[in-house]
């Protein structure tokens, strides 16, 4: 049979298409689909060893652990699946990095998301670097490893983890050292520039860089929310974003380019360096109510204890206009900060002290050196 030129052209096209389908269609023929991440690396950072890289292949050679993970979703449904990986302490031993005297541990993902695990969870938790989930290698979005701390909140189960940072007790992390001064945000806000928060319609915010402009830098910034949630954020990350003061779940730590998992809503307090900041309105939801006469508010002693205000024989309360009152440590236990119902002014009040100790437009309280 004689084939015309047009027939040959059609056959050639069909043959080419078949080759393309063979090359692109099946999972088993694509080397990319076979890749299970063994050649990926993660970085372990510590004060004594600096940054050390280790491959997933090397992790897989270490003594492994398996764990059944149980996660309860917001709708009440439950996910349960097995994971396989290696304990953080096993990895540290392999790298000749001590697992003793760890304070906090920070997990950083490839997209910039990071979370710091508090020292109490580090002390009791089983921290697993997982390289296998439900009997299969990690999918690309989870690689190189996914972190798990069974029985802890899923916010610590960081996928796409590329770096683990070990903080020692002497190098920062945790809530930080004592603060010498606490500012009350409702009054301080009048000194800050308020800007539109463009990521949320109608929201207003202050830049955290403005909040920290006179604060000595520290390794981390501590945040406390009204539901009791506590978080330590890296200084640079905190200082590059915003406190939303008008909007959903305000006050809230947010940023247009900050992963949502790093946002903190309903802030009660922030501390950085040797300075603390308190959002009294939300604080009223967190602290036990204290009473002075007909006024109810937050005990100054409870506030000082929670933010680790330096112990001193006396403390100075300062108003927005510069007016100051000095009270003794004993008197501090008799005082409250509250929002006056008649005009919304932030004030202090004390039991058995002169009326002059009641400071209107209360700006700060500081320890007398």
Give tens-digit pLDDT for 154-190.
Answer: 889 999 999 999 988 754 434 556 899 999 999 999 9
Are residues 307 and 233 part of one domain? yes
Q: Which of 143, 168, 193 marks a domain boundary?
A: 168
Mean pLDDT value of segment 57-70: 95
pLDDT band at 71 (very low <50, low <70, confident <90, very high): confident
**Is residue 263's pLDDT more than 80?**
yes
Q: Name the least confident of 34-48, 55-69, 220-234.
A: 34-48
Q: Which comes out higher in pLDDT, residue 285 or 173?
A: 285
Are residues 112 and 185 part of one domain? no
Mean pLDDT value of segment 5-34: 45
Q: Which comes out higher in pLDDT, residue 231 or 27?
A: 231
**Is residue 8's pLDDT more than 80?**
no
CA-angle at 315, arms to 313 and 321, nearest 5°: 160
Are residues 328 and 355 part of one domain? yes
Helix/strand/coil (H/E/C) assignment for every residue in the chain: CCCCHHHHHHHHHHHHHHHHHHHHCCHHHCHHHHCCCCCCEEEEEECCCEEEEEEHHHHHHCCCEEEEEEEECCCCCEEEEEEEEEEHHHHHHHCCCCCCCEEEEEEEECCCCEEEECHHHHHHCCCEEEEEECCEECCCCCCCEEEECCCCCHHHCCCCEEEEEEEECCCCCCCCCCECEEEEHHHHHHHCCCEECCCCCCCEEEEHHHHCCCCCCCCEEEEEECCCCEEEEEHHHHHCCEEEEECCCCCEEECCCCCHHHCECCEEEEEECCEEEECHHHHHHHCCEEEECCEEEEEHHHHHHHCCECCCCEEEEEECCCCEEEEEHHHHCCEEEEECCCCCCEEEEECCCCHHHCCECEEEEEECC
If one counts every other C-beta atom within 10 angstroms of the C-beta of residue 70, the result is 11
Does residue 244 lie in a domain region?
A: yes
- Are 128 and 68 spatial neighbours (Cβ–Cβ below 8 Å)? no
Are residues 330 and 191 part of one domain? yes
Mean pLDDT value of segment 88-111: 92
Are residues 329 and 225 part of one domain? yes
Mean pLDDT value of segment 243-265: 92
Are residues 209 and 160 part of one domain? no
Q: Which of 135, 168, 201 marks a domain boundary?
A: 168
* d(C-alpha 358, C-alpha 93), whole Å: 57
pTM for this model (two decimals): 0.72
Are residues 55 and 140 part of one domain? yes
**Is residue 279's pLDDT more than 90?**
yes
Query: How much of the chain exceeds pLDDT 90, in percent?
Result: 66
* d(C-alpha 163, C-alpha 1), whole Å: 67
CA-angle at 168, arms to 156 and 176, nearest 5°: 80
Does residue 14 lie in a domain region?
A: no
Q: Which residues contact 247 (CB under 8 A, 6 or more apart)?
A: 197, 200, 202, 203, 204, 205
Does residue 9 lie in a domain region?
A: no
Q: Which of 147, 168, 189 marks a domain boundary?
A: 168
Please report, for residues 86, 149, 282, the alpha-carbon distance to residue 351 in angstroms, rounded to integers and kept in the order given.
57, 47, 24
Q: Which comes out higher in pLDDT, residue 169 or 109?
A: 109
- Are 348 and 336 spatial neighbours (Cβ–Cβ below 8 Å)? yes
Does residue 106 lie in a domain region?
A: yes
Query: Closest by alpha carbon to 316, among 357, 275, 255, 286?
Result: 357
pLDDT band at 35 (very low <50, low <70, confident <90, very high): low
Are residues 226 and 332 part of one domain? yes
Q: Domain of 158: which CATH number?
A: 3.90.420.10
Q: Name the least confident of 73-82, 115-124, 150-159.
A: 73-82
Q: Which comes out higher in pLDDT, residue 22 or 329?
A: 329
Does residue 285 lie in a domain region?
A: yes
Does residue 20 lie in a domain region?
A: no
Q: What's the total number of domains in the chain?
A: 2
Are residues 161 and 58 part of one domain? yes
Per-residue model confidence (pLDDT) at position 369: 85
Does residue 305 lie in a domain region?
A: yes
Produce one character per residue of 295-325: b if its CB has 16 or more CB atoms within 10 Å, e if not: bebbbbbbbbebbbbbebeebebbbbeeeeb
Does residue 17 lie in a domain region?
A: no
Are residues 234 and 143 part of one domain? no
Are residues 192 and 132 part of one domain? no
Q: Is the dihedral of CA 90, 170, 48, 37 positive or negative?
A: positive
Cβ-count burial of 173 within 10 angstroms (0-12 exposed, 13-18 middle, 19+ buried)?
Answer: buried
Are residues 212 and 126 part of one domain? no
User: What is the distance of C-alpha 33 from the center of its chain?
Assistant: 34
**Is residue 16's pLDDT more than 90?**
no
Per-residue model confidence (pLDDT) at position 176: 58
**Domain extent for 200:** 181-367
């Amino acid at each position: 049979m004689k084939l015309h030129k047009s027939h040959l052209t059609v056959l050639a096209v069909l043959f080419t298409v078949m080759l393309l389908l063979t090359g692109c269609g099946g999972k088993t023929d694509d080397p990319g689909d076979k890749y299970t991440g063994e050649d990926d690396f993660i970085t372990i950072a510590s004060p004594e060893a600096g940054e050390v890289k280790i491959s997933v292949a090397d992790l897989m050679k270490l003594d492994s652990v398996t764990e059944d993970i149980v996660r309860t979703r917001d709708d009440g449904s439950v996910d349960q699946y097995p994971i396989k990986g290696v304990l953080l302490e096993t990895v540290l031993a392999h790298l000749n990095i001590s697992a003793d005297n760890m304070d906090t541990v920070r997990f950083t993902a490839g997209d910039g998301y990071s979370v710091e695990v508090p020292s109490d969870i580090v002390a009791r938790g089983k921290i697993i670097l997982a390289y296998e989930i439900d009997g299969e290698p990690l999918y690309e979005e989870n690689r190189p490893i996914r972190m798990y701390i069974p029985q802890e909140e899923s916010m610590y189960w960081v996928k796409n983890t590329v770096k683990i940072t070990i903080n020692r007790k002497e190098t920062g992390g945790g809530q930080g050292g004592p603060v010498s001064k606490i500012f009350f945000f409702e009054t301080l806000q009048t000194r800050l520039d308020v800007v539109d928060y463009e990521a949320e319609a109608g929201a207003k915010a202050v830049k955290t860089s403005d909040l920290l402009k006179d604060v000595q830098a520290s390794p981390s910034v501590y945040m406390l929310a009204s539901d009791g949630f506590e978080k330590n954020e890296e200084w640079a990350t905190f200082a590059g974003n915003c406190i939303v003061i008008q909007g959903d779940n305000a006050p809230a730590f947010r940023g247009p380019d900050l992963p949502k998992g790093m946002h903190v809503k309903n802030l009660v307090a922030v501390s950085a360096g040797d300075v603390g900041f308190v959002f009294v309105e939300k604080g009223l939801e967190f602290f036990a109510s204290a009473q002075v006469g007909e006024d109810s508010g937050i005990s100054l002693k409870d506030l000082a204890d929670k933010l680790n205000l330096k112990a001193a024989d006396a403390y100075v309360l300062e108003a927005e206009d510069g007016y100051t009152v000095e009270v003794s440590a004993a008197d501090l236990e008799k005082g409250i900060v509250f929002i006056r119902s008649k005009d919304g002014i932030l004030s202090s009040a004390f039991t058995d002290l002169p009326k002059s100790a009641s400071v209107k437009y209360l700006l700060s309280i500081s320890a007398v050196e």
